[in-house]
Chains A and B, each alone.
Chain A
């Protein structure tokens, strides 16, 4: 289903889901990699290359087309976006807000950094578009909500992914 959401030049799309959205995102990344190069920015330290490899059935031609950079603080997320060139390669940002939930950085400062990040998302969307995934924080807070709203406001589209419905109970005989 997620794979139906392809990056399109001229806009970027926001996916909001639970933490296990990551697994689907990795499948999607493998899928996008089938079609050509892809640039992944990992803001949540969860880019499990093995899962992507399995989805791509281990093929090196796909795996070598997917590049990844990791950011471990919100300052690094901005730095990463700043240094990404505007070339016709679609981007995927995983867990953009994870580092922004770190309360050791002041709320106002985090919002300022996110505003700057959004400017770069707008710059990068022109060439080949992109997809950004976020999941809500473990501990809810006012600032977290505001950050999410900030992001939503500048995405072309936002999709809220529900946790997968429980598999139907197998028919019981007794």
Chain B
């Protein structure tokens, strides 16, 4: 007679919401189809691998057996894609004396490893830290991969995946995903969102109240009345039981403040749904990345519930919550991490999942150094994308042509991956199995292309558009990052040769596109890494460029598309010398009236809003001209507008917020020999008790006299009479001239001496 289980096995379907380790195994949260929020546990093991001399591995084995963590140890062979292929060993004679098939095998990259299968996933990090201290000389693999990623790799699930679970006694016996990260329109989970907003920016002033909203409820609570505050919040959290707590400044101020209030008053707030777990607090820190200082603020993360802080979510302005969920879905990172971490970490997570699924060891440290090159070879390979100097000035009927996701496309099409050997410098797809990088990127690239096609077919008013655009934005960021990541010194699956191969293919593709265009008698006005601007008399509509597009695609093997046909476009010269052309600095109007702008003041983060808005408004006016021949009327209108804006500035009618300049602090205050405006503003903030770290942005106004700046985020409001109006006037003039100068020359018959005087 078989064993009778205590309870029946149940099937539950829903959306996977949270996964994290607990004392013994993993906790899973599911938003059930039944509307309930289910908490389950699942047994799970995670394995770390160690390689090295056999004597050391034996010592490690003994050491591990003495640790108070339950684990299984075994000796295995696993693939390290970076291992130098060993000499093929002679086949073992299995009695026959004849050659066995082993002699004919291609050299493998197998290494002998000690596999450490940890049965209590929550103990893995601690164990690894001690292991490294005791045995720093060994090579480790799969050492710092988070549990949610491991879980995702094993079961094919991801955040908000629709799954079918079989559970018994709250324990998950099996989990089956019902959709994939690549579905365009997955069934959306019914998330309950509770929003908490302080009544002002805590960096400016101390907030006095919090507004709580969820469903149809919305009310404001004063902060100083802590007892009712906590009581009401507690009641709301318990009654509404939100899945997401969405805040402004929740990471840096709101939640830490609430938690402090709880501590001093001795009451608890059920921020976590899982009350057996602590709220996760991470301190702020500053670090170097790509030669730049990056600042990461403090964070508060929850368990069983998500805390998302609008102001601490990377790229929230770009793609909002939908984009964050898509990032999580596609990178398999938990939503709270996906919101806060960079796209580079996202790419890295995706690669880890691919490697885990293919049983490829993930090195703990990236060790590979470059293979030797001659000095001449270095000169040929150490270049970036091809950047052409444009033909400066205004041009009409210009076709803007772009390779679609060029670098990722190259990585996938030509199989560029750190572990894939390349045959010399020939630009041909590498032979053999697709490498980790292309395997990881291909589905993402396909989804991006599918989404772009879908967006083209949607009507402008289709309500699915914003959602799709958010998804497209998330994909764009990931794809844009994956190339940089390929060459990143700490990327596990990165390699400088692969990075250089990608740029080499890119340059070649652009050159072939140029040749195709010139063979068809197009004039090349500008080229920039993955795009070109071409012109030919009589070619005014996208259809006129079809043959060219087809030809380029044929010659390069890469997908290419039309950005649009410009009615006119202006390529700008250098600000220092107008005879010198400068790449990627232009503005133009497409046939459909939309504007494209690169490299000018309106696009720079440190430009004051008033000036950026003026510049964009001028472009909007110019965009009203039906074509380049009718620019004069628009030009005159723009001139009138510019003068009005200048007058408003002179008369003091521009609100101070619109004149804020926002610059990054590039180093510690002490390191400046002569402080930049940002540094001087930071000094003022420091006197007001506010700390600013290198890598953070600081907002300030230009003022008269010394120190010439006035930080914005200090308690006292600024004195508007002290604004350095003349300086702003100069900035405004410069911004206006950027967009109107070339138009004026074109309108006045191309005579540079006939320069219009914008501001008499």
Q: Which residue of A lies closest to B133 (CB)?
A: A108
With A71-B370, A75-B366, A112-B136 already in contact, the answer to whether A53 and B490 are too (CB < 8 A) is no
Select which of A60, A72, A75 is within 8 A of B376 by beta carbon.
Answer: A60
B366 contacts A104, C-beta separation under 8 Å: no
Cβ of A161 within 8 Å of any chain B Cβ, yes or no, is no
- 0/1 string, A66-93, CB within 8 A of B gives 1: 1111111101111110010000000000
Considering the chains assembled together, what is the distance between the CA atoms of A109 and B226 in angstroms? 48
Select which of B136, B288, B378 is within 8 A of A68 by beta carbon.
Answer: B378
Cβ of A174 within 8 Å of any chain B Cβ, yes or no, is no
Cβ of B372 within 8 Å of any chain A Cβ, yes or no, is yes
A71 contacts B369, C-beta separation under 8 Å: yes
With A79-B367, A79-B368 already in contact, the answer to whether A72 and B375 are too (CB < 8 A) is no
Considering the chains assembled together, what is the distance between the CA atoms of A71 and B382 in angstroms? 14
Considering the chains assembled together, what is the distance between the CA atoms of A108 and B375 in angstroms? 35
* Interface-central residue, B287, B372, B382, by most chain A CB under 10 Å: B372
B137 contacts A112, C-beta separation under 8 Å: yes
Contacts between the two chains (Cβ within 8 Å), count:
69
B372 contacts A39, C-beta separation under 8 Å: yes
Shortest Cβ gap from B28 to chain A (Å): 34
Of the four ranges (under 10, 10 to 19, 20 to 34, 35 or more), the interface on chain B belongs to 20 to 34
Q: Which residue of B lies closest to A67 (CB)?
A: B372
Shortest Cβ gap from B123 to chain A (Å): 22
Cβ of B489 within 8 Å of any chain A Cβ, yes or no, is yes
Shortest Cβ gap from B364 to chain A (Å): 10
Cβ of B653 within 8 Å of any chain A Cβ, yes or no, is no
- 0/1 string, A33-76, CB within 8 A of B gives 1: 00000010000000101101100000010011111111111011
With A47-B378, A49-B378, A112-B137 already in contact, the answer to whether A68 and B373 are too (CB < 8 A) is yes
B489 contacts A63, C-beta separation under 8 Å: no
Considering the chains assembled together, what is the distance between the CA atoms of A108 and B134 in angstroms? 12
With A70-B496, A76-B368, A112-B137 already in contact, the answer to whether A64 and B376 are too (CB < 8 A) is yes
Considering the chains assembled together, what is the distance between the CA atoms of A75 and B373 in angstroms? 20
* Interface-central residue, A49, A60, A102, by most chain B CB under 10 Å: A49
Residues of chain B within 8 A (CB-CB) of A108 are 136
Q: Which residue of A lies closest to B496 (CB)?
A: A70
Considering the chains assembled together, what is the distance between the CA atoms of A49 and B137 in angstroms? 35
B375 contacts A53, C-beta separation under 8 Å: yes
Q: Which residue of A lies closest to B84 (CB)?
A: A83
Considering the chains assembled together, what is the distance between the CA atoms of A67 and B378 in angstroms? 9
B379 contacts A76, C-beta separation under 8 Å: no
Cβ < 8 Å to A, chain B residues 252-269: none
Considering the chains assembled together, what is the distance between the CA atoms of A76 and B496 in angstroms? 12
Considering the chains assembled together, what is the distance between the CA atoms of A80 and B373 in angstroms? 13
Shortest Cβ gap from B84 to chain A (Å): 8
Residues of chain B within 8 A (CB-CB) of A102 are 288
Chain B contact surface mostly: loop
Residues of chain A within 8 A (CB-CB) of B382 are 49
Select which of A49, A66, A76 is within 8 A of B369 by beta carbon.
Answer: A76
Residues of chain A within 8 A (CB-CB) of B368 are 76, 79
Cβ < 8 Å to A, chain B residues 366-399: 366-376, 378-379, 382
B489 contacts A68, C-beta separation under 8 Å: no
Cβ of B365 within 8 Å of any chain A Cβ, yes or no, is yes
Considering the chains assembled together, what is the distance between the CA atoms of A63 and B240 in angstroms? 72
Shortest Cβ gap from B501 to chain A (Å): 15
B369 contacts A83, C-beta separation under 8 Å: yes
* Interface-central residue, A73, A75, A78, A102, by most chain B CB under 10 Å: A75
Considering the chains assembled together, what is the distance between the CA atoms of A47 and B374 in angstroms? 12
Considering the chains assembled together, what is the distance between the CA atoms of A60 and B376 in angstroms? 8
A64 contacts B374, C-beta separation under 8 Å: yes
Residues of chain B within 8 A (CB-CB) of A112 are 136-137
Q: Which residue of B lies closest to A80 (CB)?
A: B369
Residues of chain B within 8 A (CB-CB) of A73 are 365-366, 489-490
* Interface-central residue, B288, B368, B370, B373, by most chain A CB under 10 Å: B370
With A70-B496, A112-B136 already in contact, the answer to whether A76 and B366 are too (CB < 8 A) is yes
Shortest Cβ gap from B394 to chain A (Å): 36
A77 contacts B379, C-beta separation under 8 Å: no
Considering the chains assembled together, what is the distance between the CA atoms of A109 and B558 in angstroms? 45
Residues of chain A within 8 A (CB-CB) of B136 are 108-109, 112
Residues of chain B within 8 A (CB-CB) of A60 are 376
Select which of B370, B375, B490 is within 8 A of A66 by beta carbon.
Answer: B375
Residues of chain A within 8 A (CB-CB) of B367 are 75-76, 78-79
Residues of chain A within 8 A (CB-CB) of B379 are 49-50, 53
Considering the chains assembled together, what is the distance between the CA atoms of A75 and B491 in angstroms? 13
Q: Which residue of A lies closest to B490 (CB)?
A: A73
Considering the chains assembled together, what is the distance between the CA atoms of A147 and B243 in angstroms? 51
Considering the chains assembled together, what is the distance between the CA atoms of A60 and B287 in angstroms? 42
Q: Which residue of A lies closest to B494 (CB)?
A: A72
Shortest Cβ gap from A162 to chain B (Å): 23
Select which of B137, B288, B370 is within 8 A of A69 by beta carbon.
Answer: B370
Q: Which residue of B lies closest to A29 (CB)?
A: B375
Considering the chains assembled together, what is the distance between the CA atoms of A78 and B365 in angstroms? 12
Shortest Cβ gap from A174 to chain B (Å): 31
With A53-B379, A72-B489, A104-B287 already in contact, the answer to whether A77 and B373 are too (CB < 8 A) is no
Residues of chain B within 8 A (CB-CB) of A77 are 369
Q: Which residue of B lies closest to A39 (CB)?
A: B372
Residues of chain A within 8 A (CB-CB) of B376 are 49, 60, 63-64
Residues of chain A within 8 A (CB-CB) of B378 are 47, 49, 68
A67 contacts B373, C-beta separation under 8 Å: yes
B366 contacts A69, C-beta separation under 8 Å: no
Considering the chains assembled together, what is the distance between the CA atoms of A78 and B489 in angstroms? 14
Shortest Cβ gap from A50 to chain B (Å): 7
B375 contacts A69, C-beta separation under 8 Å: no
A76 contacts B373, C-beta separation under 8 Å: no
Considering the chains assembled together, what is the distance between the CA atoms of A75 and B369 in angstroms? 9
Shortest Cβ gap from B425 to chain A (Å): 15
Considering the chains assembled together, what is the distance between the CA atoms of A67 and B509 in angstroms? 28
Considering the chains assembled together, what is the distance between the CA atoms of A66 and B489 in angstroms? 24
Residues of chain A within 8 A (CB-CB) of B496 are 70, 72
Shortest Cβ gap from A124 to chain B (Å): 14
Q: Which residue of B lies closest to A72 (CB)?
A: B489
Considering the chains assembled together, what is the distance between the CA atoms of A108 and B133 in angstroms? 10
Residues of chain A within 8 A (CB-CB) of B287 are 104
With A70-B496, A109-B136 already in contact, the answer to whether A76 and B489 are too (CB < 8 A) is yes
Considering the chains assembled together, what is the distance between the CA atoms of A69 and B365 in angstroms? 19
A-B contact pairs, 14 of them (CB 8 A): A49-B376, A49-B378, A63-B374, A63-B375, A67-B374, A70-B369, A72-B489, A72-B496, A73-B366, A76-B368, A79-B367, A79-B369, A80-B370, A112-B137
Given contacts A69-B370, A104-B287, list 4 more A-B pairs with CB under 8 A.
Answer: A63-B376, A73-B365, A76-B368, A108-B136
Nearest 7 CB-CB pairs, A to B? A72-B489, A80-B369, A67-B372, A76-B369, A79-B367, A63-B375, A49-B375
A residues adjacent to B (C-beta < 8 A):
39, 47, 49-50, 52-53, 60, 63-73, 75-80, 83, 102, 104, 108-109, 112
